[in-house]
Chain A
C-alpha cells in the first residue's frame, strides 16, 4: 500500500505565547520552509490555543504560507490528550506530507503519541533537515522526495533518518539549530480559522498551570559562551586543581567581555562536569548552564570550550557557533576537529593570558 502521493503540504506545529510567536516557533517555521521549498509544497503552520491573538499573522510574516488556527477556551489547561486528539483529527482529514514539531517539553510529549496514532515514524531532535531520495539496500527500493532527518548519533557522528513509506513524515527539531527567517510584514498568506470541539471525558485533568520564574542563565541569548568541562579538574602537569579556580577565571572573563565590549556573555558547562556533582561547584553551576544534547543548543558569535573533550552530545549543542575556541591538553580531543582556534595547552595558563589580552585590547579602544 503506497498512497503517498495523496499527501501534501509541510505542517509545522507552532506554539504561541501571549506576546506573540516564541523563538522556537519561528525556528520550526524556518525548518519547515527549507523542506517545503525543496519539495515545492506549501508550508502550513498549525496553532491551537484559547486565544491566538496576533500569532497567526506573525506566522505568515515569519514564513508560513497558510495558518490553521484553532481557538478554543478548553485548550487553556494545555492537557496533552486534547492537543493529540485535535491534531490527529486534522492530520487524518487533511493528510500532510510532513509534520514538524519543536523538540521541547510540549513537542516531545504530544508528537510521539500523535505519531503512534497515525502509525507513522518520528525522528526526534533533528539538527538539520533536507530533502532527497533514499534507496533501501535491503529491499532495493528507491523513494524520492523524502524528508532527510538529520540527528545526533553515536560517537562523533550524525545519522540520517528516513520515513520512506509512512505519512506524514514526522520529526521534532532541536531548538537553536534553525535560524528564524527575517520577519516580513508584507508577506502574504492565508489564515483559516477552525472551530473544533474538545472531548471532556479524559481520564486526566489539569489542576494548575503556573509560570516559572525566568531562568537566571540565558545561554541562547548570549553573544559569547565560555564553557567548562571535566578538564578543569587538572592542570597541564596533571596536578589536581580546585574547579572553582577555573570557574572564577571564566566568570572574570565574562565580566570583562561584558564590560568592555557591551555584549552578553554566559558560563556554560558540559554534561560531564555538571553530572560529576562536584562539592566545590555546588550551587555555582546548574542545569541552566548545560550545553549539549540534554542541555541547551547554542550558536553564539564566540564559543570558548575549556577542558571539554568534545563528545558528540556536547558538539551538537554548540557546533553552529560562529567562532569556536578550544583549549585542551589532549591534542587528539575531538573538539579540535570543529574548533576554529585550537589551543593545545593548559587552560590554567591560557585563560589568564586571554583575560590579559581582553583587558589590554579594551584599554586601547
Chain B
C-alpha cells in the first residue's frame, strides 16, 4: 500500500515573516516542518506497520529550502518516511488552498501511476517473456523502489517473491499474472494522511480539498475524515475505521481505501500487531530512498491555470493592525475623576459632564491640579479597578 503523508515547511518564527503583496516568500525565511505534520507521520508509520507498503512524504514549495527539513524524516530507520517527493516549480508559487490541493492531488496520482505503470510494464512482459527477462526487469524496477517484496525482492528474509517462484517453476505464468494484477489493485488503494492544519495558514482545508481533488481526477467520491482522534486499518480488506470529533458528538466512520484522513492534535498511533509481520514485509518495499525527488508542474500533468497564483481564487489584501482600545487606564498613574461631575467652568470654558472613573488627563494641567486639591480627581487605584470590573 502506498501511504502518503502531506507535510509543509512553515516559517520557524511567526515574528519574522516575509510576505510580499500577501504572498509568503518561503525561500527567504527559515523554515521548519509544520509541527502538526508529525502526527501524520506517526499515523502513516502505523499504517505501514500494520499493512505494509511504503510511506511517501509529499510537500510543495521551494525544493532547495525544503530538502534539508525533510531529510529529518530519514533520521530513524524505523520511523519517518521511506521516500520524499517535493513538488517544486516557480509556477506553483503563491497558491491558496484550492490551487495547493489541486497540485498535491496531481502529485499523488502521478506517484501512484508511476508505481502502477511499473507493475503494468512487468505484467506486459510476463504475458510472454522468459523468466530471466522478467527477473531482469523486476530487478531493475525493484532497485528503483517501485515493486513490493511480494513481487520481487533481494532481502535475505524474503525468499518467495512471485518472480522467484516463477523462475524456479513453482508457480505458472497465470499465477504470476494474477499476482501482479492484485499488486496493481493494492497500489490503487492508497491512503493519504495529513495533519490537522499548518501553523502558518491555519486553514485546515487542504486535507478535505485533496480528497476532492483526487475524486475529481479519479471520477468517484473518495471518502475523507477530519479531526480524526483514533483510527485502525484492517490489512485483509484495507478498511479504515476511525473516530472523529463533530461538535458535541463523536462519530465513528468506516471507509475503504483510497481515502484521506486528517489527524487531530490529540491523535496517537495504535500499537501494531506483530503476528502479521511476514505479510507486512511482503507488502513492503526495498527501503528508504534518501534523496528527495523533485517533480515540476509538467511532470505531474498540472494545468498551468490551476496552480500557483493563477489557480488561486483568493487574494490576500494588505495586513492591518488590530486597533488599540480608545481608553487605557493605568493603576497608580492615570488621573481619573473620583466622583460624578456635571460640568466645570474654568477660565470661561466649560468641561463635562464627567462620570466617576473617567480619565481627566485631557483637561488643562492647571485645572487638574485644582481638581486634585479638591479631591475630585486623583490617581486610579487598584480599589477603583476592582470596583469597575466587578461591581
Q: In the complex the two chains form, what is the Cα distance from A123 to B330 in whole Å?
A: 38
User: Bound complex: CA of A155 vs CA of B200, how far in Å?
Assistant: 11
Within 8 A of B (CB), among A115-174: 115-117, 119-125, 134, 136-138, 148, 150, 152-166
B321 touches A156 (CB 8 A): yes
Binds B, one of A182-190, A237-245, A319-327: A319-327
Task: Report the contact-size class of chain A (Cβ under 8 Å from the partner).
Answer: 35 or more
Closest chain A CB from B233 CB (angstroms) = 14
- On whether the beta carbons of B318 and A160 are closer than 8 Å, the reply is yes
CB distance from A293 to the nearest CB of B (A): 6
Q: Is B90 an interface residue (CB 8 A)?
A: no
Interface string of B23-39 (1 = CB under 8 A from A): 00000000000000000
B168 contacts the other chain (Cβ, under 8 Å)?
Answer: no
Question: Which of A6-14, A32-40, A201-209, A227-235 is near enough to bind chain B?
Answer: A201-209
Most buried by A among B254, B330, B389: B389
Q: Give the chain A neighbours of B325 by CB distance below 8 A.
A: 324, 338-340
The reply to whether B382 and A78 form a contact with Cβ atoms under 8 Å apart is no
Which residues does chain A contribute within 8 Å of B206, judged by CB atoms?
A: 112
User: How far, in whole Å, are A161 and B203 apart by their CA atoms in the complex?
Assistant: 13
Asked if residues B248 and A108 are in contact (CB atoms below 8 Å), the reply is: no
Q: What's the Cα separation between A119 and B212 when bound, in Å?
A: 11
Q: Residue B15 at the A interface, CB < 8 A?
A: yes
- For the side of the interface on B, what is the size category? 35 or more
The dominant DSSP class at the A interface is mixed
Please measure, in the bound complex, the distance between the C-alpha atom of A323 and the C-alpha atom of B386, giving whole angstroms: 12
Within 8 Å of chain B (Cβ to Cβ): is A236? Answer: no
Find chain B residues with CB under 8 A from A217 CB.
none
The answer to whether A357 touches B383, judged by C-beta atoms less than 8 angstroms apart, is yes
User: For the complex, is B128 an interface residue (Cβ under 8 Å from A)?
Assistant: no
Question: 1/0 per position for B7-27, CB-CB distance to A under 8 A?
Answer: 000010011010101100000
B316 touches A161 (CB 8 A): yes
Q: Is the CB of A365 within 8 A of B388?
A: no
Q: B247, A204: Cβ atoms under 8 Å?
A: no
For B208, B213, B226, B318, the residue with the greatest tally of chain A CB atoms inside 10 Å of its CB is B208
Min C-beta distance of A6 to chain B, whole Å: 17
Q: Please give me the residue from chain B that is nearest to A109 by CB atom.
A: B226
Known: A108-B205, A112-B205. A137 touches B21 (CB 8 A): yes
Instruction: Report which residue of B14, B21, B206, B251 has the largest number of chain A beta carbons within 10 angstroms of its beta carbon.
Output: B251
* Residue of A whose beta carbon sits closest to that of B11: A154
Q: Does A80 contact B (CB under 8 A)?
A: yes
Assess whether A311 is interfacial by the CB under 8 Å rule.
yes
Beta-carbon nearest neighbor of A114 in chain B: B212
CA distance A60 to B256 in the complex (A): 41
Is the beta-carbon distance between B205 and A124 smaller than 8 angstroms?
yes
Contact string against A for B residues 196-216, beta-carbon threshold 8 Å, 1 for contact and 0 otherwise: 000010111111110111001
A104-B247, A122-B97, A340-B328 in contact; A365/B312 too (CB < 8 A)? no
> Are A105 and B246 closer than 8 Å at their CB atoms?
yes
Q: Would A159 and B319 count as touching, CB distance under 8 A? A: yes
When distances are taken between beta carbons in the complex, the residues of chain A under 8 Å from B247 are 15, 104-106
- The residue on B at minimum CB distance from A116 is B212
1/0 per residue A237-273: CB within 8 Å of B? 0000000000000000000010011010000000000
Do residues A78 and B251 form an inter-chain contact, with CB atoms below 8 A?
yes
Q: What residues on B are CB-neighbors of A212 within 8 Å?
A: 245, 248-250
Produce 1/0 per residue, A193-219, CB < 8 A to B.
000000000111111111110100000
> A325: which B residues are within 8 A, CB to CB?
385, 389
Interface centre among A108, A110, A150, by most B CB within 10 Å?
A108
A353 — which chain B residues lie within 8 A by C-beta?
382
Distance of A5 Cα from B318 Cα, bound (Å): 26
CA distance A136 to B223 in the complex (A): 37
Q: Are B322 and A312 in contact (CB under 8 A)?
A: yes
Please tell me which one of the listed residues B203, B221, B256, B387 contacts residue A81 in the complex, with CB atoms under 8 A apart. Answer: B221
Whether the pair B226, A108 counts as a contact (CB closer than 8 A) is yes
Quick one: given A124-B202, A354-B382, A358-B390, are A157 and B21 in contact (CB under 8 Å)? no
CB distance from A319 to the nearest CB of B (A): 6
The answer to whether A207 and B205 have CB atoms under 8 Å apart is no
Nearest residue (CB) in A for B14 is A154
B98 interfacial by beta-carbon distance below 8 Å: yes
Contact with A along B57-89 (1 / 0, CB 8 A): 000000000000000000000000000000000
Query: Which residues in chain B, 213-238, are within 8 Å of chain A measured between CB atoms?
Result: 213, 216, 220-227
Q: Interface readout for B90-127 with A: 1 if CB under 8 Å, 0 if not?
A: 00000011100100000000000000000000000000
Contact A138 B317 (CB under 8 A): no
- Residue of A whose beta carbon sits closest to that of B246: A105
State whether A365 touches B226 (Cβ < 8 A): no
Whether A340 lies near B208 (C-beta < 8 A) is no
Residues of B within 8 A of A78 (CB): 246, 249, 251
Given contacts A161-B315, A361-B391, contact A204 B386 (CB under 8 A): no
Whether the pair B319, A204 counts as a contact (CB closer than 8 A) is no
Whether A158 lies near B98 (C-beta < 8 A) is no
Is there an interface contact between B251 and A208, defined as CB atoms closer than 8 Å?
yes
Report whether A162 and B317 are in contact in the complex, using a CB–CB cutoff of 8 Å. yes
User: A261 touching B390 by the CB < 8 A rule?
Assistant: yes
From known contacts A159-B317, A161-B316, infer whether A207 and B386 are also in contact, taking CB-CB under 8 Å: no
Whether A41 is near chain B, meaning CB under 8 Å from some CB there, is: no
The answer to whether A121 touches B22, judged by C-beta atoms less than 8 angstroms apart, is no
List of B residues within 8 angstroms of A109 by Cβ: 208, 225-227, 246
Q: Which residues of A contact B274 (CB under 8 A)?
A: none
Q: Which residue of B lies closest to A323 (CB)?
A: B389
B253 adjacent to chain A (CB < 8 Å): yes
Interface presence of B252 (CB below 8 A): yes
**Complex CA–CA separation, A162 to B318 (angstroms):** 11
**Would you give the 0/1 interface string for B232-270, flagging 1 where the beta carbon is closer than 8 Å to chain A?**
000000000100111111111111100100000110000
Contact partner of B98 (CB less than 8 A), chosen from A15, A116, A124, A337, is: A116
Is A68 an interface position by the 8 A CB rule?
no
Closest 6 A-B residue pairs measured CB to CB? Answer: A204-B223, A357-B386, A121-B313, A121-B314, A112-B205, A204-B255
B interface, CB within 8 angstroms of A: 11, 14-15, 17, 19, 21-22, 96-98, 101, 200, 202-209, 211-213, 216, 220-227, 241, 244-256, 259, 265-266, 312-322, 324-325, 327-331, 382-383, 385-391
